[in-house]
Amino acid sequence: MPIRFSRKALGSAIVASVALAIGLAAPTYAAPASTNTDWLIGQWTLAEDEDGGRPGMDLDEFFQDGRYIIYGPNCREPPPGSWHMYRGDVYVSLDVPGKGPIALVFRPNAEHTELTYTSPRTRNNAIYRRALPNPCSRIEK
């Protein structure tokens, strides 16, 4: 014998099902750990590298407008990348000419004095610390 529902019960069940479906389909976003990113803006240099990189040889710069630059020898600049914050981590996207995009993720320490990058290839860490201004800087004061 089939189960029969009243129109009112059936209507309530449909409304509840639609509300549940909308709630499950809607994207959820975590609140940012902090909306203040002033601590990040400026230059950061490689300080420690478990893969053997030489401290001071890697210079990265984060700009207020979302640009990100890795300076090469003699201040040579590849096309800038972009950065954004999500759940407290710094996400960088770079286009490799003739190849495609790559992503970097930096995790700041609690004091915002260090950025840790973990290599997806070796699983080793590289630590960046605030760099003193140098001739490569493009930040407008």
Q: What is the 3-state secondary structure (H, E, C) of 39-104?
A: CCCEEEEEEEECCCCCCCCCEEEECCCCEEEEECHHHCCCCCEEEEEECCEEEEEEEECCCEEEEE
Residue 81 lies in a domain: yes
Q: Is residue 63 part of a domain?
A: yes
C-alpha to C-alpha distance for 109 and 95, rounded to whole angstroms: 27
The CATH number that applies at residue 75 is 2.40.128.280
- Flag whether 30 is in a domain: no
Q: Count of domains in the chain? A: 1
| Of 55, 58, 106, 60, the residue nearest 80 (C-alpha) | 60
Whether residue 1 is contained in a domain is answered as no
Residue 124 lies in a domain: yes
Tens digits of residue pLDDT in 19-75: 444 444 444 333 344 568 999 999 999 999 999 988 877 889 999 999 999 887 777
Is 21 part of a structural domain of the chain? Answer: no
